[in-house]
Amino acid sequence: MKLALVVGARPNFVKISPLIKAINEHNKSTLPQIQYILVHTGQHYDSFMSDSFFQSLQIPKPHFNLGIGSGTHAEQVGNTMIAFEKVLKSEQPDWVVVVGDVNATLACSITAKKEQIKVCHIEAGLRSGDMTMPEEINRLVTDRLSDLLLTPDQLSSKNLQQEGTDVDKIKMVGNIMIDTLNDALETAGMLELDEIIQRNSADEVNKNPEADSYALITLHRPSNVDQVEDLTKIVQFFIDQAASQIPLVWPVHPRTLKNLERFELLETLRKNNNIILLQPLNYFDMLKLNSQAKMVITDSGGLQEECTVLGTPCITMRFNTERPITLQEHGGTSVLVGNDLSKVKLSFNAALNQKRESRIPELWDGHAAVRCLAEIIKY
């Protein structure tokens, strides 16, 4: 059996790494071997967003890099389809395995189905119900086309059933990202906070936040960072209210950095002694910072899940989430606040007095990749 494994953007790398390890383990047995090719669409291309993840997660060099880079959604999806079709025609895999919800996930599943190649979607069934999110469109189309839908939790399996997906195609395998997290905890635990901060900062940092005494921030969604009014309001909150109570550590996503510069907000942030701006971090650095943070303020989906498992209070600057299992009302540690700063402020004050409490949803046990592979083989 031959698999084409697809990655495109940062959150994909964390999900494909355990699957490759599971394939390598399987191939040590006497069972029929599984061949794979790794295809990187190149949507995320710079060393901070891509190479550092390949290195830290020991992902082998991709067999194909489609070099798609930045662009509009249609450019990214269209260019990926054109390039990926050539790979499929020459490589003839039995399966295309896609993960997550980025543009590569969508583009490669459409291309595969048109070539009549089976599609397996890992992290199937997540739904925010918000069609203004490009990721929601990617999820819906990918799931509609997939032959095997591997879900992280029961809520996602239920979403698929409610949409009329054949129940035989849906298998709950748990959260593959937690395989990576569990594997990395020991290495991350040995890192020092001040060393991470010095190594990832462009500026001289005089402040070294201590464990349990800083807030970790990540923001990249268009709904928070693309409009001058929204981003200005958020930055004002950080400067005027948050940073006066606790140091803020903020690894800045390239989309956000461009906009902070464009909206002339970057210098004010830089000048604030209690705000530490960092470049995008490698996986271990991020894990260490998360596991020692007083709280996380984010609009990332993956971080909501990691916070739940690590027990970090998570203030999620989104109006909805495709990952309800991470919310406090479903047993997680995350609270949705949109970009309503009065809600952000309330949750921020609450989190200052909150204790960490790790929550582990069903099958988020570090063995999801083995179950994914078993389902593909069984199909």
Tell me which residues touch ligand UD1 (CB under 6 A): 9-11, 43-46, 49-50, 70, 101-103, 134-135, 220, 253-255
The CA distance from 178 to 189, in Å, is 16
Residue with tokens 């199909």: 379
Helix, strand, coil shares of the chain, percent, nearest 5, are: 50, 15, 35
As measured in angstroms, the least distance from the Cβ of 379 to ligand UD1 is: 27
As measured in angstroms, the least distance from the Cβ of 105 to ligand UD1 is: 8
Q: Please name every residue paired with 2 in a beta bridge, in sequence order, or none if there are none.
A: 35
Q: Please name every residue paired with 39 in a beta bridge, in sequence order, or none if there are none.
A: 6, 64
As measured in angstroms, the least distance from the Cβ of 275 to ligand UD1 is: 21
Nearest alpha-carbon partner for 169 in 140, 149, 141, 139: 149
As measured in angstroms, the least distance from the Cβ of 89 to ligand UD1 is: 25
The CA distance from 284 to 306, in Å, is 12
Nearer to ligand UD1, 159 or 298 (CB): 298
The CA distance from 40 to 45, in Å, is 9
The CA distance from 218 to 316, in Å, is 10
In Å, what is the CA distance from 364 to each residue of 16, 148, 181, 214, 283? 16, 20, 10, 27, 19
220 belongs to the catalytic site: yes
Catalytically annotated residue among 40, 44, 121, 220: 220
Nearer to ligand UD1, 53 or 348 (CB): 53
Nearer to ligand UD1, 279 or 363 (CB): 279
As measured in angstroms, the least distance from the Cβ of 168 to ligand UD1 is: 29
The CA distance from 336 to 324, in Å, is 10
Nearer to ligand UD1, 66 or 376 (CB): 66
Nearer to ligand UD1, 135 or 230 (CB): 135
In Å, what is the CA distance from 17 to each residue of 4, 12, 26, 277? 14, 9, 14, 28
Catalytic residues: 220
